[in-house]
Structure 1
Amino acid sequence: MHKILENYGSILLLLVGITLGSIIGLWLPPWVDYLKPLGDIFLNLLFVSIIPLLFFAISSSVANIQGENKLGKIIGLMSIVFLLTIIIAAIMTIVALFFFPVNAGMAPSTNVENPMNDQSSWGDKLVSFLTVNEFNNLLSRESMLAFVIFSFLVGIAARRAGQAASAFTSFLNAGNEVMKQLLLILMKAAPVGLGAYFAYQVKTIGPQLFGFYAKPMALYYTFGLLFFFVFFSLYALLAYGKKGPQLFWKNNIVPSLTALSTCSSLATMPANLNAAKKIGIPPAIANVVIPLGNTLYKNGSAISSILKIYVAFSMLGWDFFSWSTMLTAIGITVLVTIVAGGIPNGGYMGEMLMISIYGLPTEAIPAVMIIGTLVDPLATILNATGDTVAAMLVTRLAKEKFQVQED
C-alpha cells in the first residue's frame, strides 16, 4: 500500500480533486463561481512557465549531445526509427478515430471559430508557424513553434561553440533544473486547479460530460493494447526475424510490470537496459538509444496526443478530419514526444503546446489534461517499453549482430 501511494499518489490526488469538482459541479453549482478563479490562476501559472521551461529543456538537451562518428551514426539511425514509428502511431490513432468516433452525442461547448479555417496560403501559414519578425514575439504562446525552433538553434550554437560556451551551457543546464523544480511546485496545485475547472465544466456541460470521457478512455485502452502487442511484435520481427517477437516479449515482462507499478518511464530504464542485454542488443546501441528514448521516444504519448486533440476539437464542434488539422496534429505529436519527455508532468506542457498552436480556448484545457491523467498507466508502459524495441530496430539498421544471452 505504501508503494502504491508513493508511486501513484499524485495521480490519486488529482483524481480526488476531479471527483470533488464533479460533485460540486453537479450538486453545488453556486459554489462553482467561487472555485473557477482557482482554476484560472493555476492555468495562468502554467502558461507563464511554459516559455522558459521549453527554452531551457530544449536548448540544454541539444547543447549537451556529444559527437563521435559511431555515436553520430547511432543517433542518426535512432532519430529515423523514433520519427517514423511515432508518425505510424499517430496515423494509426487517426485511422482508429475515423472508424470508431468517440464524440457521438457531444454538443459543442462553445462557438469559438476554428483558426485552422483561415484561408491564408500555405506559404503564409508556414512562415507564421515557423518564424516571427520580432524577438519579443517569440515570448508569446501564439508563436510556440517558432520558439521551439529558436531553442533548438540556440542549443546547436552552444554545442558548436564548444569550450568557449561552457559557461553558457552550464547556465542552460542550471536553468533547466530550476524550471523542472518550478513545474513540480506548480503541479502540487493541480488537484485544486483542475478540480475547480472540472467543476465549471460539469456545471456548464452537464452530466453527459462523463459519458464523453468514458468513450475516449475505452478507445485509448483498447487501441493502446492492440498497438502494444501487434506493432511492438511487428517491430521486433523486422529487427530480428522470427525469433524477434518471442525474444522481445520473453524479456519485456519485467519492464512492463515495472512501468505499471511505478508509473514512471525513468524507473523502468534499468529494467529496459537489462532486457536489452538479454535480447543481445550491443551495449553501444542500448546505452545510447534506451536513455535517450526515455526522454525523446514515447508511443503512448503520441497516441494520447492525437486523442486529446480530437477530443478538444469535438468539444468545440470543429472538424478534426481536415488535412491541415491532421497534418498539424501529427507535427504536434512529434514535438510533444520530444519536448515533454524530460520534464516532470511534461504531458501537461505538451497540451499547452497543442492548445497554443491551434489557438484553442481555455475551456478545452481541463479536458485534455484529465484525459492525459486517466491514460497514464498504459501510456507509461507504451512509452517505457518502446525504447527496447526501438533499440532492436536500430541494431538491425546499423547492421550490428545480436548477441543473445542463454539462460
Structure 2
Amino acid sequence: MKRLALHWKIIIGMILGICWALLSSFMGWSSFTIDWIDPFGTIFINLLKLIAVPLVLFSIISGVANIGDPSSLGRMGGKTLLLYMVTTIFAISLGLVLVNTLKPGKLIDEQSRIDNRINYEIWAGSQGYEIKDGINYLHDPQYFERAQVISNLTKNDLKEASISDKIETADKQKEISPLQPLIDVVPDNFFYSLSNNGLMLQIIFFAIFFGVCLLFIPNEKSAPVLKLVDGINEVFLKMVDMVMQAAPFFVFALLAGVVSKMAGDDIGKVVEIFKGLSWYSLTVLLGLVTMIFIVYPSILKVFVRKFPYFGFFKAMSPAQTLAFSTSSSAATLPVTMECVEQNLGVDKKISSFVLPIGATVNMDGTSLYQAVAVIFLAQLHMIDLTIGQQLTVVLTTTLASIGSAAVPSAGLVMLIIVLDSVGLNPAWIAIIFPVDRILDMFRTVVNVTGDAAVCCIIADGENMLDYQEKSNQSDTFEVES
C-alpha cells in the first residue's frame, strides 16, 4: 500500500465509504455511522477550513507581488491579468448557464430533496445563517414529523429554527444600500474578517491590496516581506499535502457519514444520490470539454489567427497529457513552457512571465467546476439561489481562483470558501468527493490549455510570436514525469 499513488488510495477510500454507506443503510446501522464514523469526516472539513483562509491570503499576496517591477511590466502584466480574468469569468458563466439549464441537482426524487432541504434548514438555524431563498419548510407543520425522524430535535426546537432571525433579517433587507455588496468587500477590521466565516471577499481584497503595495516599495524593503510570505505559503501548502496524505481514511468517514445522514436506512436514497452525482459529472465535463475544444480555439482564431485548429492541440498535447496525469498546473509548468516556446513559437521572455502567473491565478477549469458544484449542491437541497447570490458565486470564485494552489485537490479547499460565501454547508463537498479526482484531471487540462492560449495572445500582441507549422514536432517531444 505504501507504493500505491495517493489518488488510488483516495479512490479506494471513496469506494469503501460508498460500500459502507450501502451496507449501513441496508443493515439499519445509520445511527452508528453518524455517531462513530462521521465525526472523523467533520475533522477533515475542519482541517481544510483551518488551512483555507491563510492559504488564500498568502497565495494571493505572493502571486500579486511576484508580478515584478510595475513600471517595466505594468502594460504586459495588466494585459495578462485582464485576459486571465476574462477567461475565468467566461468559464464560470458557462458553468452557471449549463447547471441552470440542465439542473442536475433536480434529477433525483423529490422526497430525497425535501429531506436534504430540512437538513439544510436545521443546519442554517444552528449556524445562524439566513435561509437563502426565504422559504422555510420547517415552518410547515407537515414536515415536523419527518424532521424529527432525520434529526434529534424536538418540535419546539424545530419551531425555533423555523422562525429564528426572520423578522430581523427582513427589516435589514429593506434598508440595504444598492452599493452594500461593494461596501462589504472592504473590511474595517482585517482581524475580524480573518476570524469570521463568510468574509472571504474582505480577506481577498486585503491580500490583493497588500500584494500591489509590495510592488511599489523599494526592493530592499519588499524582498524580506515577500520571502516571508513565500515561506509561510509553502508551510500551508505542506499542510494541505499532509492532510491529503490522511485523506483516504477521512474520505471514507466523510462519505459514509454524509450519505448515511442523507439516506438514513433507506438504501433507495443512496442510489438516488449517486444518480444525481452522475448528472453533475456530465454537466462539469460538458463545460470543461467546451472550454478546451471550442472556447480557447475560438479566442485564438479571433486574436491570433496563426494556428490551425489541430496544430494547436498537437503542439500542446504533451503538456495536456501530463496535466491530466498529475492534476497539477505547477508540476506541468516546465512542459507547458517547453511546448509553448518550441512548438508554438512564443518568445521565452513572454512565456517565462505569463505562464508562471497563469499557473497561480488562471484556474478556468477549477472555477467552472466550483460554479457548477455550488449550484448543483443548492439544487440538491431545494435551494433556489437568486441572480444576486449567483453573481456572488461568480465574484467569489473568480477572486478565490487567484489563491487556488496549483496542486491536486486544492480546488476542494477553495470550494469551501465559495460555499461559505453564499451561506451553504461546507460539509456538502463530501457529496461530490467521489468524482472529484477524475474531474480534477480534466480541470487541470483546461487550466493548462487556457494558460497557453493567453500566452500566445500576449506574445502576438507584443510581436514575439513566430509560429511555424513545420516546427511543430510534439509527436517527438519526450516528457519526463
- Above 0.5 in TM-score? yes
Q: Partners in 2 of 1:110 and 1:125 — Cα distance?
A: 27
Q: Deviations over 1:27-56 (max 9, x none)?
A: 123441210111111111222222322222
Cα gap change, 1:86 to 1:199, in 2 (>3 Å): same
Q: Partners in 1 of 2:438 and 2:428 — Cα distance?
A: 16
Partner of 2:23: 27
Supply the AA of the counterpart residue of 2:197.
R
Q: Partners in 1 of 2:359 and 2:309 — Cα distance?
A: 21
Partner of 2:316: 252
Cα gap change, 1:252 to 1:64, in 2 (>3 Å): closer
1:131 equivalenced with 2:196 (yes/no): no
Q: From 283, 306, 320, give the equivalent of 2:371.
A: 306
Partner of 1:114: 131
Q: Partners in 1 of 2:411 and 2:328 — Cα distance?
A: 13
Partner of 1:182: 239
Supply the AA of the counterpart residue of 2:321.
L
1:389 equivalenced with 2:468 (yes/no): no
Q: From 8, 24, 43, give the equivalent of 1:12.
A: 8
Q: Aligned residues: percent identity?
A: 21
Per the TM alignment, residue 403 of structure 1 is displaced from its structure 2 partner at its CA by 4.5
Q: Partners in 2 of 1:55 and 1:197 — Cα distance?
A: 27
Per the TM alignment, residue 384 of structure 1 is displaced from its structure 2 partner at its CA by 1.5
Per the TM alignment, residue 151 of structure 1 is displaced from its structure 2 partner at its CA by 1.9
Per the TM alignment, residue 361 of structure 1 is displaced from its structure 2 partner at its CA by 2.1
| Higher mean C-alpha deviation, range 325-334 or range 239-248 | 239-248
Runs of 5+ in structure 1 lacking a partner? none
Runs of 5+ in structure 2 lacking a partner? 122-129, 135-168, 264-269, 472-481
Contact kept? 1:355, 1:365, Cα under 8 Å: no
Partner of 2:161: none
Cα gap change, 1:348 to 1:366, in 2 (>3 Å): same
| Higher mean C-alpha deviation, range 23-32 or range 381-390 | 23-32
Per the TM alignment, residue 370 of structure 1 is displaced from its structure 2 partner at its CA by 4.3
| Higher mean C-alpha deviation, range 221-230 or range 337-346 | 337-346
Partner of 2:258: 201
> Over alpha carbons, which structure has the higher Rg?
2
Q: Partners in 1 of 2:229 and 2:43 — Cα distance?
A: 28
| Higher mean C-alpha deviation, range 350-359 or range 65-74 | 65-74
Partner of 2:229: 172
Cα gap change, 1:186 to 1:399, in 2 (>3 Å): same
Q: Deviations over 1:143-166 (max 9, x none)?
A: 111112112222233333331243
Partner of 2:380: 315
Q: Partners in 1 of 2:291 and 2:62 — Cα distance?
A: 33
Q: Partners in 2 of 1:369 and 1:89 — Cα distance?
A: 21
| Higher mean C-alpha deviation, range 140-149 or range 367-376 | 367-376
Supply the AA of the counterpart residue of 2:399.
L
Partner of 1:152: 208
Contact kept? 1:144, 1:353, Cα under 8 Å: yes
Contact kept? 2:61, 2:207, Cα under 8 Å: yes
Partner of 1:294: 359
SS in 1 for 2:68: coil
1:325 equivalenced with 2:389 (yes/no): yes
Partner of 2:301: 237
Supply the AA of the counterpart residue of 1:259.
A
Q: Partners in 2 of 1:370 and 1:160 — Cα distance?
A: 45
Q: From 96, 99, 114, give the equivalent of 2:101.
A: 99
Contact kept? 1:184, 1:344, Cα under 8 Å: no
Contact kept? 1:102, 1:212, Cα under 8 Å: yes
Supply the AA of the counterpart residue of 1:24.
W
SS in 2 for 1:161: coil
Cα gap change, 1:280 to 1:69, in 2 (>3 Å): farther
Cα gap change, 1:121 to 1:371, in 2 (>3 Å): farther
Q: Partners in 2 of 1:336 and 1:247 — Cα distance?
A: 33
Contact kept? 2:361, 2:401, Cα under 8 Å: yes
TM-align CA RMSD: 2.5
| Higher mean C-alpha deviation, range 26-35 or range 395-404 | 395-404
Cα gap change, 1:368 to 1:67, in 2 (>3 Å): farther
Contact kept? 1:239, 1:392, Cα under 8 Å: no
| Higher mean C-alpha deviation, range 76-85 or range 389-398 | 389-398
Cα gap change, 1:261 to 1:372, in 2 (>3 Å): closer
Q: Partners in 2 of 1:348 and 1:45 — Cα distance?
A: 12
Contact kept? 1:139, 1:147, Cα under 8 Å: no
Per the TM alignment, residue 375 of structure 1 is displaced from its structure 2 partner at its CA by 0.7
| Higher mean C-alpha deviation, range 55-64 or range 282-291 | 55-64
